Structure 1
Amino acid sequence: MTATMIESDDGARLRTWTVGSVSSRRFPVVMVHGGPGVPDYLAPVAGIIDDLCLVHRYDQRGTGGSSWQGEHTIARHVHDLVLLLDAWGHDRVVLLGHSFGTNMAGYFLLAHPERVAGLIQIAGPFLDPWREADQAAQRARRSDEQQARLEELDAIESRTDAEEIEYLTLAWFTDHADRTRAWDWALASARTLRPVNYAMNTQLNAAKRADPLESRVDELRECLPPGAVIIGGAGDSRPADALRRLATRLGCEAVIVPNAGHHPWLDAPDRFGAALRAAVVRQPPRAGDPLDVRDGPDEVHARTVR
């Protein structure tokens, strides 16, 4: 693995990682993590496919080892990704987004379709209506005591480190389908994905509401590359039907992994790994190689991995 700091045009330094090997057949995969406001956590996902292609990850501006400066806008983050592609020397890549990263990948595709050779979206973006179902599922997974404690911690203006870890664990453990391991997974994330950039979270979520992808689905469909895939977990608190509806409107495949949550590589590593590797293989190849995609961009397939 190669770790590199890449400087943006405004002086902000972005921490990046590269694994895998250059393939004459496949475009590099660039992973866009979610949050917003937490550092990259997609190393385990990169490890599933790094024998197939080159894989890049990065801490978004304002998170982890990257510079924590400036106002956060969709346009700024899209521009950062353009500069990263240039620094890596890639004219076109396959974008892989997770959670809020799927929204960022969508905005990037709208702004720069000529740079996107393929698209793999994991656990998003979700097509409204989905928030009420998500909130209801999360509440059902918390006890009354846990819900009360979450609300108590949320009301604290400045939490201690221990309180912050508890707060994030209570907020995140409902993401997982495996209820026996959900708390431990969330606790591990709460301990490592800190500090959370709450200003970034507020600014980017507001920007997403101001320019919702839901209102631009027709535009997305027009520039969607062949072989685009949405992968979701049947056990995510966010409803899988929202992903299926989006796939239908985009004309792409939706793969729903049983017994998997918002981080399907944790809940169902074998099934998710098989789905992800298949998605990478079906992305359009570099010019001159035969297209290894069975389904055209206008054919819709929603299936469950067995």
Structure 2
Amino acid sequence: MTSTETQGLVSMTDGARLRWQASGDTTRRPAVVLLHGGPGLPDYLGDLAPMVADLAPVYRYDQRGTGRSPWQGRHTFARHVEDLAELLDVWEVREAVLIGHSYGTDLASRFCLRHSDRVAAVLLMCGPFVGDWRTGDRAERGRRTSVAQQERLRALEELPDRTEEQEVELLTLAWFTDHSDPERGWRWAARAARRRRPVNWSMNAELGREGRADPLDEHLAELRAHLPVRTELLGGIDDPRPVSALESLSLRLALPLTRIEGAGHEPWLEQSDVVRAHLRRFVQDAMGT
């Protein structure tokens, strides 16, 4: 099948239904799969697909329990990994080029641990973060916010129930510090707070607990053995999550790390030309072109 834009809703073996869409010529192989972050957010990587869709088909999907993929049951890393494997079967993709962002880098890493034979290349954008990166993250976010903003954020987080506007305010306060430029960061965060909805907070909490109980840190030796030859790290220098954590991971996994200046946690917003060039070079290498 050849199409510039394709979408579908497919049932998983446990009954969950996942909404997916593809851009580009879906007869070409290997295919690129974009894995969005969160956990608990719907897909938001629509800006990245057109950057490489002329080079390879690009698949995206709302992870179960987010966006247009309804799910009310339990969330586990294992189930999310198998969701991706089942989707690859539906798309008739034997090997995929995985491009993960934020939590999507954790998902891509855990997928490699389980299904390394189905991965042609991996680009890990702004993650995964291992070690004690949270201390630096909290400190930097504190530096980027006023005392009044910090107090307001805490007050909103403590509310047992939030109105729509309170939820938008909370997310804007939580996300604007992700960016290098605070003024543009506030606008981007406010826009995302209305579009990346609803947030599946229970999914976020469940996978957060599992991540603390079974951290990726403890699987790095195994992961290094299961990653494809073409695996790279990419991060924004101004991400509040310390780039030093990615530098440490780069050394431990023997992976190249590209640091993008003037960019935070979503580098394609602040340095779109740089990210586009990087993605195109990476996908061209993976496609052997």
TM-score (norm 2): 0.96
1:220 to 223, 226, 229: 223
Q: Over residues 51-83 of structure 1, what are the superposed CA-to-partner deviations in whole Å (9 max), with x where a residue is unaligned?
A: 110100000000000012210001111111111
**By how many angstroms is 1:23 displaced?**
6.6
2:111 maps to 108
2:148 maps to 145
1:10 maps to 14
What SS does the corresponding residue of 2:49 show, helix, strand or coil?
helix
1:198 maps to 201
What is the letter of the counterpart of residue 6 of structure 1? V
What is the letter of the counterpart of residue 102 of structure 1? T
1:121 maps to 124
Could you tell me the percent identity over the aligned residues?
47
1:173 maps to 176
Q: How does 1:283-302 map to 2 (within 5 A)?
A: 283=286, 285=287
What is the letter of the counterpart of residue 24 of structure 2? G
What is the letter of the counterpart of residue 252 of structure 1? L
What SS does the corresponding residue of 1:112 show, helix, strand or coil?
helix
Note the residue ranges of structure 1 that are not aligned, 5 or more in a row: 286-290, 293-306
1:61 maps to 64
Give, in whole Å, the separation in 2 of the partners of 1:101 and 1:205: 13
What is the letter of the counterpart of residue 198 of structure 1? W
Give, in whole Å, the separation in 1 of the partners of 2:129 and 2:198: 26
1:248 maps to 251
**By how many angstroms is 1:134 displaced?**
0.6
Q: 2:61 matched to 1:50?
A: no
2:88 maps to 85
- With over 3 angstroms needed to count, the CA separation of the structure-2 counterparts of 1:177 and 1:5, relative to structure 1, is same
What SS does the corresponding residue of 1:38 show, helix, strand or coil?
coil
1:94 maps to 97
User: CA RMSD, aligned part only?
Assistant: 1.2
What SS does the corresponding residue of 2:121 show, helix, strand or coil?
strand
**By how many angstroms is 1:227 displaced?**
1.6
**By how many angstroms is 1:180 displaced?**
2.1
Q: 2:112 matched to 1:72?
A: no
* 8 A contact 1:23–1:53 mirrored in 2: no
Note the residue ranges of structure 2 that are not aligned, 5 or more in a row: none
Give, in whole Å, the separation in 1 of the partners of 2:170 and 2:26: 41
More helix by share: 2
What is the letter of the counterpart of residue 278 of structure 2? A
Number of residues of Structure 1 aligned to a counterpart in Structure 2: 285
**By how many angstroms is 1:190 displaced?**
0.3
* 8 A contact 2:17–2:71 mirrored in 1: no
What SS does the corresponding residue of 2:48 show, helix, strand or coil?
helix
* 8 A contact 1:31–1:56 mirrored in 2: yes
* 8 A contact 2:120–2:230 mirrored in 1: no
TM-score (norm 1): 0.91
| Structure 1 consecutive aligned stretches of length 4 or more whose deviation exceeds 3 Å | none
Q: Over residues 224-270 of structure 1, what are the superposed CA-to-partner deviations in whole Å (9 max), with x where a residue is unaligned?
A: 10121111000100111111111111111100100011000001111
